[in-house]
Amino acid sequence: MKTQLDAPDDIRSQIWIELVRASRDKHHEWRTPVLATTGLDGLAQARTVVLRHAHTATFELDLYTDSRSAKAQELKAQAQAQLVFWSARLSWQLRAQVAVSVITAGPELDALWQIVRQSPSAGDYLSRLAPGAVLPEAHADSDAKAERKAPLIGPLATPCFAVLRAEVTQMDWLELSRTGHRRALLDAHTWAWLAP
């Protein structure tokens, strides 16, 4: 049963509760938001990403990526981006305006890599080819799946692992309801009700 949220502090608090849940629960609908960036060509780019951590004290969200990916390069050039979350269970849409830092080195990254390297996704960060690279013709044959992947994995000495740390600067929250939709614009200290 949904809780009626009337005060902006309650809405803000519940949003962060859901973001923390989503970062821990693989079945939470907010686990896979859409990240929208400005492409190097100036055009809009959008893709689904995985929410890995939500830091409530600092209003930051973490995503993982290959440091050679287009999104990493786009965010290095233009740090402003947007994350869009939708939950049918909550009937909530959240658009989070974010300023993203691309972390490619340091003790925090090293510690996270020690965890990721034990997972099946570790190979994604050890591929010889960057995400989106055109595969050689020999690897395009769907009948040679196992043979195709093996030569593209390792032996890279250094993984191409990066963390996208997204500082939430503003949130546009929309609740859909048969009794009337509600929408609010919130940042760390201010808020306003908006026409839905």
> 87-108 pLDDT, tens per residue?
999 999 999 999 999 999 999 9
Q: Residue 138: pLDDT above 80? A: no
Domains of the chain plus CATH, in order, are 8-133+155-194 (2.30.110.10)
> 122-135 pLDDT, tens per residue?
988 998 889 998 98
CA separation for the pair 79, 76 (Å, rounded) = 6
Residue-averaged pLDDT of the chain: 90
Q: What torsion, rounded to 10 degrees, do the Cα atoms 72, 74, 79, 84 define? A: -80
Residue 1 pLDDT: 43
